[in-house]
Copies of this chain bind each other. A is one copy, B any other.
Amino acid sequence: MTNSQTSKKQERRPDDLPATAWAVLGLLSFPGERTGYELKKWADSSLRFFYWSPAISQIYAELRRLEELGYAGSRRSGPEEARAKRRYAITPRGRAALARWAADTGESGPPVLKHSLLLRVWLGHLADPDRLRELVAEHAERTLGELAQVRAAQEQSRDVPQWAFPELVLKWSERQHLAELELARALLADLGGV
């Protein structure tokens, strides 16, 4: 593990980080060491459904920041691997900071929703009715596809005790996608598209 230098300035408010930094530290808080690529793959089958779909460059930027703060460490694989890889793990200090953040007594804040399809429907007086129904139908199809991905992720995490909370969140995501599908179908019916 690398021991990064941490400046006084960083030490003053090390916990004042964006939520994306906590999300990456969260990925590292589960057992095991992971490469940036593995973290990206895992975020795509968990965080993506309810919070954040990170670019690989964002993952690496957050890992750099976490290493600078001493919240994560990394090591390069040795000559036994054909292609050298850098694997990351949380440090005790990072785990303590993450626990403080998770135990934060403040509000967790309302969910943020940006539903551009609904913005289009809201402006329906400017739209072609057929095109509008088409967009809603496409959204229902896309939601069905996402639901299949949530269910595939559930298959992978089922009955692993350390993954109990992620599994519970996937259950929420499954229900949330089913609700989104129902909402789209009701909207289509309201638009006269049945």
**Stoichiometry (number of copies):** 2
Given contacts A124-B168, A125-B162, A186-B172, contact A131 B116 (CB under 8 A): no
A1 at the binding interface (Cβ < 8 Å): no
Given contacts A99-B126, A172-B187, contact A116 B179 (CB under 8 A): no
Instruction: Please encode chain A, from 1 to 39, with 1 for each CB lying within 8 Å of some chain B CB and 0 for all others.
Output: 000000000000000000100110010011000000000
Contacting residues of chain A (108-137) with chain B, CB-CB under 8 angstroms: 108-128, 131, 135
Given contacts A107-B138, A131-B103, A138-B107, contact A165 B115 (CB under 8 A): no
Asked if B168 contacts A191 (CB within 8 A), the reply is: yes
Asked if B119 contacts A51 (CB within 8 A), the reply is: yes
Residues of B within 8 A of A123 (CB): 26, 29, 98, 102, 165
| Nearest B-chain residue to A165, judged by Cβ | B124
| Nearest B-chain residue to A127, judged by Cβ | B102
Asked if A175 contacts B165 (CB within 8 A), the reply is: no
A46 at the binding interface (Cβ < 8 Å): yes
A166 at the binding interface (Cβ < 8 Å): yes
Instruction: Please encode chain A, from 35 to 70, with 1 for each CB lying within 8 Å of some chain B CB and 0 for all others.
Output: 000000000001100111000000000000000000
Asked if A169 contacts B26 (CB within 8 A), the reply is: no
A139 at the binding interface (Cβ < 8 Å): yes
A148 at the binding interface (Cβ < 8 Å): no
| Nearest B-chain residue to A23, judged by Cβ | B119
Cα separation A175 to B189 with both chains bound (whole Å): 14
A142 at the binding interface (Cβ < 8 Å): yes
5 nearest interchain CB pairs? A124-B165, A179-B179, A112-B114, A111-B115, A50-B118
